[in-house]
Amino acid sequence: MNREPLIFEISSPTKKGFALPHLDVPENKDALSGLPLRDEIRGFPQVSEIEVVRHFTRLSQANFCIDTTFYPLGSCTMKYNPKVNEKIAALPSFQDGHPQSPPELVQGNLEILKTLEDLLSEITGMDAMTLQPSAGAQGELLGMLLIRAGHEDRGHPRRIVLIPDSAHGTNPSSAHICGYSVQEIKSNERGTIDLASLRQAMTEEVAALMVTNPNTLGVFEDAILEITEIVHAKGGFVYMDGANMNALVGKFRPGDMGIDVIHLNLHKTFSTPHGGGGPGSGPVGVKTHLEPYLPVPIINRSPSGFTLDHDRPKSIGRVRSFFGNFLVVLKALAYIQSLGASGLKEVAEIAVLNANYIRKSLEGVYHLKYDSPTLHECVFSDKLQKERGIQNIDIAKRLIDYGLHPPTMSFPLIVPGALMIEPTETESRRDLDQFIEAMKAIAREAIEKPEILKSAPHVSYVRRLDETSAARRPVLRWGGEPSE
């Protein structure tokens, strides 16, 4: 495949993308004096309109896109976004709403927010929700701020947060920002929390346990009731990372299992594609004993309409301007209401079915470190291929030649050479079979023609990069020297 040139490379001083009529009135430059006019942009490309259109169209065709191919990335969940949700979010009454409008002029929008809070509370089994956080990491941070506020209200904030080695990588950061030191809890041979280690670590200096369920291996913590009892017995709270909630909707309510606080990723589980830097939304749900600390304002429903309550003496304050990412919230509500209770349950069932179909099809072809039953994703490793000198990065690069996006690489860290695969509920058996056959073909190539994998990809615009040099000496401007 020929490399698409940079737009600077097809530029020429003789080209223009527009043609204006000749000036038919006297030129008067004085009329513009004193205005903050922008100078000419040095080196700005000059191209025709058709060159611009073709250039960016060709670049878009070189991109992997969920509209054209299967995305097996793990822990990113919602890849395909139903178009009806985008259509609803584009309605002028929603899109043009001003965030500083007084409550009496946005009663419909407040009803949307409150309705989604109630639905998410029902889905998770929590007593109250806030929609303020912009994404999952901010939701995690808010969850830990609420836990700290709860302990401080009792007179002792405590010092330690326990985090399993299978947790998401942002969990330790959220705990550290809130002033806690982190203590890791090792997984057992099944890939779940080791209860003996938890009992030993759980003291009255532990503020909380942060648990991801299902964890990053896709394994459900089936001892969750015993886990929450151990933590609660010493006065701690249990925070649940809800990034993998698409495996549980309609099947499992964290609030019924002793979870005190949970964050969700609306952009993962409830529509709006994840990636590209956003937008996201990370609502947080709490049980009653943490409700007083939720950020303000709280939306209240009354017979006369919806009001905003700022009078919350124990609130930790705002964590986000206005009401979070409103259009992302709107898409989530459209998604939930269009599916209904039975549809959400089916989402979890198909997500688990698809992941296990891939797992069973590739078992023995790729190494599976943990053989515990998995839910929405499965985590293989490159252990078998390493015997031929092939690593997971080689497998990922070769998948590009098959027209498929690689899975998540080298995570979770407890699986060396990890290949984390998550199909979600939207993929058909035909697409799953295409991925499975490609992975099997690559495993054969690792034995018969390993040099093909070591030099892959072969059909992409960009060949194999020196990733170490790219990270250490990136070229940040066209025509310049590499940055130090």
CATH classification of the domain holding 114: 3.40.640.10
5 with 153, same domain? Answer: no
Domain boundary among 315, 338, 361: 338
49 with 187, same domain? Answer: no
User: In the predicted model, what is the mean pLDDT of residues 294-304?
Assistant: 94
Residue 475 counted as domain residue = no
pLDDT the model gives residue 278: 63
Tell me the per-residue pLDDT of 21-66, one tens digit each, with 9 for 90 and over. 888 888 887 888 888 888 888 888 999 999 999 999 998 888 888 8
328 with 252, same domain? Answer: yes
User: In the predicted model, what is the mean pLDDT of residues 226-244?
Assistant: 97
CATH classification of the domain holding 423: 3.90.1150.10
Residue 33 counted as domain residue = no
318 with 380, same domain? Answer: no
Residue 11 counted as domain residue = yes
DSSP state letters, 315-378: ----SSSBTB-HHHHHHHHHHHHHHHHHHHHHHHHHHHHHHHHHHHHHBTTBB-S--S--SS-E
Domain boundaries, position 206? 83-338
Say if residue 478's pLDDT is above 60.
no
Q: What strands, in cross-sheet order, belong to the sheet with 128-130?
A: 128-130, 284-286, 261-264, 237-242, 206-212, 160-164, 181-185
54 with 101, same domain? Answer: no
Pure H helices in 35-91 = 49-62, 83-89
207 with 354, same domain? Answer: no
- Give the Cβ contact number of residue 320 at 10 Å: 17
Q: With bands split at pLDDT 50, 70 and 90, how would you rate the model's confidence at 477? A: low
Residue 250 counted as domain residue = yes
**CB of 417 within 8 A of CB of 340?**
no
d(CA 332, CA 241): 18
d(CA 222, CA 233): 19
Residue 106 counted as domain residue = yes
Before 457, cis peptide (omega within 30)?
A: yes
333 with 371, same domain? Answer: no
Tell me the per-residue pLDDT of 95-130, one tens digit each, with 9 for 90 and over. 888 888 999 999 999 999 999 999 999 999 999 999
303 with 227, same domain? Answer: yes
**CB of 368 within 8 A of CB of 359?**
yes
pLDDT the model gives residue 148: 98
For the entire predicted model, the pTM comes to 0.89
58 with 139, same domain? Answer: no
As given in the structure block, the two tokens for residue 323 are 């009401």
58 with 183, same domain? Answer: no
Q: How many domains does the chain have?
A: 3
Strand partners of residue 286: 128, 261
191 with 299, same domain? Answer: yes
Domain boundary among 293, 313, 338: 338
197 with 322, same domain? Answer: yes
pLDDT the model gives residue 168: 82
- Give the Cβ contact number of residue 105 at 10 Å: 10
- Report helix angle 429-448 to 392-401, nearest 10: 120
